[in-house]
Amino acid sequence: MASSTTGEKKILTLKGGDNEEFILEESLVLQSELLKNMVKEERVSSIPLPSIKSKTLVKIIEYLKKHAELTPSNKEEFKNFEKEFVNVVLEELLDITVAVNYLKINGLLEFCCQAVADRIKDKSVEAVRKIFRIESDFTPEEESEFRKETPEAFEGDLDDTTN
């Protein structure tokens, strides 16, 4: 972690997609490789992030704060927080994952990818399509061939209960 020599905490402003501003300590954003480079190399104090919705940014900042407070004694609490963090509707989870990927917050990215992967696992093809609203773009011939080749992929209960 970069220690400020002046003893004074540096302040940084992040601007979300809807122009909402978030003012936070610079040390918090150093977990993001992208922001870290911007802060270190360009010495900026305000960073526009037009592709990230404010709602998503709020969530990510919440994570950064919690993560910064991580100590041996509250490890369990942090784990629970992480679990709750990804326990959101799919749309929101993907918003966060895309933003975290862009910001390059590696630990959190791994966790988000796992959360998305968990929503794909143990589902039938139809369920995955329904959950992620993917339309099959195979030809009817291909589709029927897959059904013949791997009938088990199309079987099983249509578990699409995940948000």
Q: From residue 90 to residue 129, what is the string marking binding to other proteins with x (rule CB under 8 A)?
A: xxx-x--xx--x----xx-xx--xx-xx--xxxxxx--xx
Nearer to other proteins, 10 or 75 (CB): 75
Q: Is residue 158 near other proteins by the rule CB under 8 A?
A: no
Residue 66: C-alpha distances to residues 2, 60, 81, 112, 143 (Å): 18, 10, 8, 16, 46
User: Least Å distance between CB 131 and other proteins?
Assistant: 8
**Calpha distance 155→98 (Å, rounded):** 31
In sequence order, what E strands does the chain have? 11-15, 21-25, 46-48
The amino acid sitting at 60 is I
- Using CB under 8 A, list all residues that contact other proteins: 31, 53, 55, 67, 70-72, 75, 89-92, 94, 97-98, 101, 106-107, 109-110, 113-114, 116-117, 120-125, 128-129, 131-138, 146, 150, 153-154
